[in-house]
Amino acid sequence: MSTFLTALIPLLIVFAVFFAIYRSVRGKKSTKLKSIGWLELLIAYLCVLAPIGLIIGLGKISPLFEKVPALNPLGTFDSLTRLVLILASFYAGVCLWKTLKGAVRKAKIILVALLIFNVLVVKGIYSLAIYAALARADVSIPTKAVLDALMRDIMGSLVTAAIIVSWYIYLNRSRRVKEIYGTPSAAQAILPETGMMNSVGTPVAKKDGTNV
């Protein structure tokens, strides 16, 4: 029974935090959101897939940080950073879901943060720190193992970068995103100025037939 409660309490806390974030976002679901579509997939990515990926990554890398004492501070940084990104990603997805003002900008910021963390920090800084710590500990690593790990890191970085950059481009170019969130296109931004200039150059006729 105690084991069950020990496992249940963290889940309840996590659920309460996510529910509080959802309730804190003022707005309502747009009627233009469909049951399935690219925008809905992006919302699912931010609210579900990205957090799950961060949790899985934590489960894979935490044991290594725990086994090497020199990497303990890096492990603490990793856990806190992943927690912040999980909550921020969920928040950005909810903002898109409730069509909050500035939701697209928030989503773009989170996508950039996810790209930097997953590619530069995890695949770059972490890998260098782990290899350096193992070298200082006089742990011999076969060259083939190093090369295999390096290739996996490179491939993982490319896949992650491709996914995140694709979503960022989608937010920039999608007409549906502009329609739902009121993001003006370049043409729409120029139209009012053009209309104003035309009105300035057009003579206005008075009642007596003379032009102004």
Domain count for the chain, please give it.
1
Q: Decide if 207 is inside a domain.
A: no
Rounded-to-integer distance, Cα 14 and Cα 17, Å: 5
CA distances to 89, 130, 168, 182 from 107, in Å: 8, 31, 8, 15
User: Cα dist. 176→36, 38, 138, 171, 198 in Å?
Assistant: 13, 10, 56, 9, 30
Average pLDDT over residues 73-99: 91
- Digit-coded pLDDT (tens) for 127-182: 888 778 777 766 666 656 656 666 777 788 888 899 999 999 999 999 989 988 88
Q: Which two tokens stand for residue 45?
A: 């990515």
Is residue 188 domain-resident?
Answer: no
Boundaries of domain holding 59:
35-177
* Structure letter (DSSP) for residue 125: I
- Does residue 211 belong to any structural domain of this protein? no
Q: Please report whether residue 190 resides in a domain.
A: no
18-37 pLDDT, tens digit per residue, is 777 767 776 666 556 666 78
Query: Does any domain span residue 129?
Result: yes
- Is 90 a domain residue? yes
Q: Which residues contact 126 (CB under 8 A, 6 or more apart)?
A: 61, 74, 78
Two tokens at 183? 């993001």
Domain membership of residue 121 (yes or no) is yes
For residues 117-122, give the mean pLDDT. Answer: 89
Q: In the prediction, which pLDDT does 4 show?
A: 55
Locate all alpha helices (DSSP H) within the chain, ordered by sequence: 2-24, 38-44, 50-67, 72-97, 103-115, 127-136, 143-173, 175-181, 186-201
What pLDDT, on a 0 to 100 scale, did the predictor assign at position 123? 82
| pTM, full prediction | 0.74
Q: Is residue 205 part of a domain?
A: no
Residue 199 pLDDT > 50 = no
For residue 149, what pLDDT is reported? 67
In this model, does residue 209 exceed pLDDT 70?
no
